[in-house]
Amino acid sequence: MKKVVVKMKLGSREAFEKRLDEMGMEFAPVFWQHDRVFVPRTYRRGNGYPRLVMRTEMKAVDKPAKYSLILKRHIEDANVEIFDETKVADYTEAANIILQLGFRQEAEISRRRQEIKMSDGVTLYLDKVEGLSGYFAKIEAELKENESSAALRSEIIKTFESLDQKNEVIQTYSELL
């Protein structure tokens, strides 16, 4: 799947949530995610190499954790992120396979996350990342066949502007840490 992703650093979480509330939008309950980010040994930002993410996600304390392996690849010139996710039954074994393939662990990111499904294929996330001050909002939108990534990105920016957000962050959480 191809996505266009835009992330903003919030000046005030309260003001942001108030603005969403005025628009009739409400976040789902908080859940926890922990990512271990793996990159090829020769990885450099902007070279189009894939990143592999081993994700642990807990949506409720009375339910088991969900494990998944995510392939992310950012295509700079098209401003598109290629994203594929698959469930993992044995987290440790999957992480060992990644290391044996020659990837190295670049970062660990833990976050508390809330989401709003804005429409089919468009999700707004509110993230509190351990080790980073403040809150971040991120909109991920699936890029449909024959859709312009530039036009979709422009729509996302307009959505953030309607929410009084203009502090775009282009770095990944691992780069910010």
Residue 137 has what pLDDT?
97
CATH of segment(s) 2-176: 2.40.320.10
pLDDT in tens, 123-150: 999 999 999 999 999 999 999 999 999 9
Check if the beta carbon of residue 5 is closer than 8 Å to that of residue 72. Answer: no
Residue percentage of the chain with pLDDT more than 70: 98
Taking the model in full, what pTM does it have?
0.90
Exposure b/e, 145-161, CB count within 10 A at least 16 = b: eeeebeebbebbbebbe
Indicate the pLDDT class of residue 7, thresholds 50, 70 and 90: very high
